């Protein structure tokens, strides 16, 4: 018979493995390299509603809530303020460290210009880092785009239902263009986001290259041929890649309304933290785990000599 006065055992929690493992977790024995956020473009001057360091500092603070044990830095690929090279300056190879840092581009899709700038900064500093893939395509990007459209009153805040008893207002859109920046690969990634966003909204959503005026005009024409009378351009960019002024001009030229960029947010920060964990888990596969002889000696009353 068990003693009812005895306290239950207090076992240490065990990390779940396999398909149900937390995607934000990583193999701790490979160390905790610094997370360096590479922000495209130059750092804008701080304004009353934006802290010093711009969106780079905002995102670094948000990512820190997911990775409090990791040193998080940020740097811009252009300009003289907060250059990426400074964030990589002291991350040269060090004995006993399989990797000193992981560079996460603050981009929703591949971008040739930003990618070249990141590689140049890594080569110039000799930093022992790995560069992750872009943040997208990822299902959570469609979620953030949906949120930005809802904030502007262009779509419903919740997912589209099969039956709606409330007539949509004249401000709501009946067609969305997911704008990409960075070339054909970026448009391809935006196409994935467009499919996911269309499933959420129940309306036509198509991708287009914001740097190609003819591409935007062609997609707007396709929407109008399909009966769309209130098109909206939703830029699938975090912010620095395409200025709001350029987006406003593009939308006016094609008779559409612009939505806000994704901006800094906890969902974008979570995707960046996931990219970081993916690199470390890959490194863990390549790096053999420590042997029994390499592990530190156990300490505590249970492990005293002669006990």
Burial 214-234 (b: 16+ CB within 10 A, else e): ebbeebbebbeeeebebbbbb
Strand ranges (DSSP E) for 147-254?
A: 175-180, 204-209, 231-235
Percent of the chain with pLDDT over 70: 77
Residue 161 scores a pLDDT above 70: no
- Region of poorest pLDDT, from 40-44, 57-61, 90-94, 302-306: 302-306
Same domain, 102 and 162: no
Could you say which of 258, 275, 302 is where a domain stops? 258
In a domain, 303, yes or no: no
Query: Residue 76, SS3?
Result: strand
What's the confidence (pLDDT) of residue 264? 95
Same domain, 82 and 59: yes
Domain tally, the chain: 2
Same domain, 44 and 67: yes
Report which of residues 13 and 85 the model is more confident about: 85
Residue range 241-269: average pLDDT?
Answer: 96
Contacts of 42 (CB under 8 A, 6+ apart): 76, 78, 79, 80, 81, 240
In a domain, 99, yes or no: yes
CA geometry: angle 161, 167, 169, nearest 5 deg: 110
pLDDT tens digit string along 175-225? Answer: 999 999 999 999 999 999 999 999 999 999 999 999 999 999 999 999 999
Query: Residue 102, SS3?
Result: strand
pTM of the model: 0.81
CATH number at residue 233: 3.40.50
Domain with 172 in it: 139-258
Using pLDDT thresholds of 50, 70 and 90, give the confidence band for residue 8: very low
Same domain, 222 and 156: yes
Same domain, 223 and 117: no
What's the confidence (pLDDT) of residue 305? 55
In a domain, 63, yes or no: yes
Determine if the peptide bond prior to 75 is cis (ω within 30°): no
Same domain, 31 and 122: yes
Closest by Cα among 77, 116, 135, 131 to 264: 135
Q: What is the mean pLDDT of the chain?
A: 85
Same domain, 149 and 131: no
Pseudo-torsion of CA 62, 68, 70, 71, nearest 10°?
Answer: 60
Residue 27 scores a pLDDT above 70: no
CATH number at residue 76: 3.40.50.1400
Residues paired with residue 102 on neighbouring β-strands, in sequence order = 35, 130
Report which of residues 288 and 64 the model is more confident about: 64
What's the confidence (pLDDT) of residue 80? 93
Using pLDDT thresholds of 50, 70 and 90, give the confidence band for residue 304: low
Same domain, 68 and 174: no
- Region of poorest pLDDT, from 7-21, 71-85, 222-236, 238-252: 7-21
Query: Residue 209, SS3?
Result: strand
What's the confidence (pLDDT) of residue 51? 72
């Amino acid at each position: 018979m068990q003693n009812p006065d005895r306290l239950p055992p207090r076992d240490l929690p065990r990390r779940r493995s396999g398909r149900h493992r937390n995607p934000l977790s990583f193999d701790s024995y490979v160390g905790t390299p610094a997370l360096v956020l590479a922000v495209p473009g130059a750092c804008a001057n701080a304004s009353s509603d934006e802290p010093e360091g711009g969106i780079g500092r905002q995102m670094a603070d948000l990512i820190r809530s997911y990775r409090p044990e990791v040193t998080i830095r940020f740097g811009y690929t252009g300009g003289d303020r907060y250059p990426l090279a400074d964030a990589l300056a002291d991350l040269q190879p060090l004995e006993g460290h399989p990797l000193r840092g992981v560079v996460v581009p603050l981009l929703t899709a591949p971008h040739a210009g930003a990618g070249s700038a990141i590689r140049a900064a890594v080569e110039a500093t000799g930093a022992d880092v790995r560069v992750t893939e872009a943040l997208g395509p990822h299902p959570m990007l469609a979620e953030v785009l949906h949120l930005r459209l809802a904030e502007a009153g262009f779509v419903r805040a919740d997912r589209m239902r099969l039956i709606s008893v409330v007539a949509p207002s004249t401000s709501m859109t009946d067609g969305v263009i997911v704008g990409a920046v960075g070339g054909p690969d970026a448009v391809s990634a935006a196409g994935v986001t467009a499919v996911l966003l269309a499933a959420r909204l129940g309306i036509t959503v198509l991708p287009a290259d914001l740097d190609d005026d003819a591409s935007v005009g062609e997609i707007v024409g396709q929407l109008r041929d399909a009966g769309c009378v209130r098109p909206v351009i939703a830029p699938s960019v975090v912010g620095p890649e395409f200025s709001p002024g350029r987006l406003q001009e593009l939308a006016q030229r094609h008779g559409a309304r612009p939505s806000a960029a994704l901006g800094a947010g906890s969902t974008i920060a979570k995707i960046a933290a996931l990219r970081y964990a993916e690199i470390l888990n890959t490194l863990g596969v390549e790096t053999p785990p420590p042997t029994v002889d390499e592990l530190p000696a156990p300490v505590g009353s249970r492990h005293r000599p002669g006990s």
